[in-house]
A and B are shown apart, each in its own frame.
Chain A
Amino acid sequence: MLAVQQLEAGYGESVILRNVSLKVKPGQVVCLLGRNGVGKTTLMKSIMGLLKARRGAVSYNGQELTKQAPGRRAKSGIGYVPQGREIFGQLTVYENILIGLEAARDKNAKSIPQEAIAKFPVLPTMYARRGGDLSGGQQQQLAFARALASKPEVLLLDEPCEGIQPSIVDDIRDVIRSIKADGKTAILLVEQSLEFVKSVGDYFYVLEKGAVAWEGGLESLTDDVIKKYLTV
């Protein structure tokens, strides 16, 4: 289980997150909602270790990660699909996925596991192309496959549908659902589309001004809550 406790983080002088606590249980799809600029991506970066926590703690399966480098966190089983995808543009598609294997806990893993690419049949046909030459939607699929290559137990997805055509959004929804159905990987999802998160999420957190303003299950995510915290 991934647990964030009373986390405070920010850039330079400014504090973005204050006192954020959340939990992602095994196999669960947890969604992080909130208007622009409330600190959703900052929270993802803090969980991954790209941003140092000023206070509070991030732990995974009881293991304290707050002071650990991103690489150690990845190796303990956290996969990351960042906002903007962050594909290695000069590496081929194949090499991009192989880099994803670095965090695999099975040290003998030398080839890409079938389950990482099974959901993206288009990727193997483009193995030799450079990552930077792919379209946005293809890069998003590549970022998924790269994160799944290490067989993570928790997957952090930061706006996976941003700027992507509807048919690929549907594909990504199917992928998230099938990961959920497998039950091996929990997901922490940041997404703007309410319709999308409602179709996949189990549990929801709403951030406001860098703190958790509301949390609850799918049935309690009512129109009142949406109106209060999410409509602009």
Chain B
Amino acid sequence: MEVFTLQLFNGLSVSSILLLIALGLAITFGLMKVINMAHGELIMIGAYSTYLTQNIFKDVLPPSLFDWYFVLAIPVSFLIAFVFGLILEMSLIRFLYGRPLDSLLATWGVGLVLQQLARSIFGAPNVAVTSPSWLNGGVEVLGAVLPYKRLFIIGLVALCLLAMYFYIYRSLEGRRMRAVMQNRDMAACLGVSTRRVDAMTFAIGSGIAGIAGCALTLLGPIGPSLGTYYIVDAFMVVVLGGVGKLVGTVLGAMGIGIFNTMFEYWTNASLGKVLVFLCIVAFLQWKPMGFVAMRSRSLDS
């Protein structure tokens, strides 16, 4: 029972991390169809933003306030990654819409530049971010200890999802965004400023990558190549889930996370990963569009 609870929780925890790193990509790749290889570096930027926030708190503010740096670090990471995304979109991505191979190569290059930038500023070795003390420890459920950090990440993902849902499906900006992504020309003919929508959408996807980076600082030290570890997983989640729908991304992350944990428990870490890859390949043979495929009369043509 104890083992089962722990495995289930681990699966959920892995899923939540996968989901967090994939959510931003679900926007930039899923909605905008930009193969953004610099997504991992936007995560890295979020992580270093958290590191900087921590340092500022350490150096400037009284130690009693230190524990609260993390609360501020989340919006700060979002904003800094948001600004980076905005600059990236306005200076590069916007010239590459509809050219997937070019954007793949260009964003990969941007990723390398950003990695080197981080290396120049913060140095090549990993840096540690001290987690706030209120996230240490855990809660015991059915004999298994569930760490607060993991629970916090699950909560953070849920919050991000909720915010994204309301932004995309319930707000004016989100409506414009969906209209532009579905039929750019027609949206333009109805007076929607497609340039503005593109820039905002890409920046928001980048900002969410920043939040993911912030959360990753809870799990271990961070370095300039942090993003490269996560970029493959992020794409896998979005492709498996089916592009263009949030619910697909959630299912993709859950599927990979839970199966990965199960296979790793039954076999070992590397074989588990191989098995997960095999399952994904098999699944995409069966359903090439992923879990949730968009279908309607207007899209069938």
B190 near A74 with CB under 8 A, answer yes
B189 at the interface (CB under 8 A from A): yes
Question: Any chain B CB within 8 A of the CB of A88?
Answer: yes
Once bound together, how far apart are the Cα atoms of A80 and B294, in whole Å?
Answer: 27
Judge if A90 is at the interface, Cβ distance under 8 Å: yes
> Nearest Cβ in chain A — how far from B33, in angstroms?
15
A146 to B190, CA, bound (A): 8
Of the 9-residue stretches A22-30, A92-100, A159-167, which lies at the interface with chain B? A92-100
**Who on chain B is nearest to A69 by CB?**
B188
Please pick, from B176, B178, B188, B296, the residue contacting A132 in the complex, using a CB distance under 8 A: B296
- A122 contacts partner chain B, Cβ-Cβ < 8 Å: no
Instruction: List B residues 171-211 near A (Cβ within 8 Å).
Output: 175-176, 178-179, 182-183, 185-194
Count A/B pairs, Cβ under 8 Å: 83
| Known contacts A88-B178, A88-B179, A88-B186; A99 and B192 CB within 8 A of each other | yes
Interface residues of A in 45-81 (CB under 8 A from B): 48-50, 69-71, 73-75, 80
Q: Does A177 make an interface contact (CB < 8 A)?
A: no
Across-interface contacts of A71 in B (CB, < 8 A): 188-194
Given contacts A88-B182, A89-B299, A131-B298, contact A100 B190 (CB under 8 A): yes
- The chain A residue sitting closest to B194, CB to CB, is A71
* Interface secondary structure of B, over-half rule: helix
Are A70 and B183 in contact, with the CB atoms below 8 A? no
Whether A86 contacts B178 in the complex (CB less than 8 A), given A103-B191, A131-B298, comes out as no
Cα-based distance from A90 to B175 in the complex (angstroms): 11
The verdict on A91 contacting B191 (CB below 8 Å), with A130-B296, A132-B296, A132-B297 known, is no
Task: Please state if B191 and A90 are interface contacts (CB–CB under 8 Å).
Answer: no
Q: How far is the CB of B29 from chain A (nearest CB, A)?
A: 17
Known: A89-B296, A130-B296, A132-B296. A103 touches B178 (CB 8 A): no
Q: Are B190 and A90 in contact (CB under 8 A)?
A: no
> With A and B bound together, what is the CA distance between A100 and B176 in angstroms?
10
Q: Are the C-beta atoms of A132 and B185 separated by less than 8 Å?
A: no
Closest to B182 in A: A88
Residues of A within 8 A of B298 (CB): 87-89, 131-132
Least CB separation from B169: chain A residue: A95
B186 smallest CB distance to A (angstroms) = 4
- Kindly report which residue of chain A lies nearest to residue B301, judged by CB atoms: A84
Query: What is the distance, in angstroms, from A154's C-beta to the closest C-beta of chain B?
Result: 13
**Are the C-beta atoms of A91 and B179 separated by less than 8 Å?**
yes
Most buried by A among B185, B189, B298: B189
Q: A132-B297, A133-B296 are in contact. Are A80 and B189 (CB under 8 A)?
A: yes
Q: Which residues of B contact A82 (CB under 8 A)?
A: 186, 189
Q: Which residues of A are at the interface with B, using a C-beta cutoff of 8 A?
A: 48-50, 69-71, 73-75, 80, 82, 86-91, 95, 98-100, 102-104, 130-134, 146-147, 150
Give 19 A-B pairs besides A88-B186, A90-B299, A91-B178 with Cβ atoms closer than 8 angstroms.
Answer: A48-B189, A71-B193, A71-B194, A74-B188, A74-B190, A80-B190, A82-B186, A82-B189, A88-B179, A88-B183, A88-B298, A89-B182, A89-B298, A89-B299, A99-B187, A131-B298, A132-B298, A133-B296, A134-B297
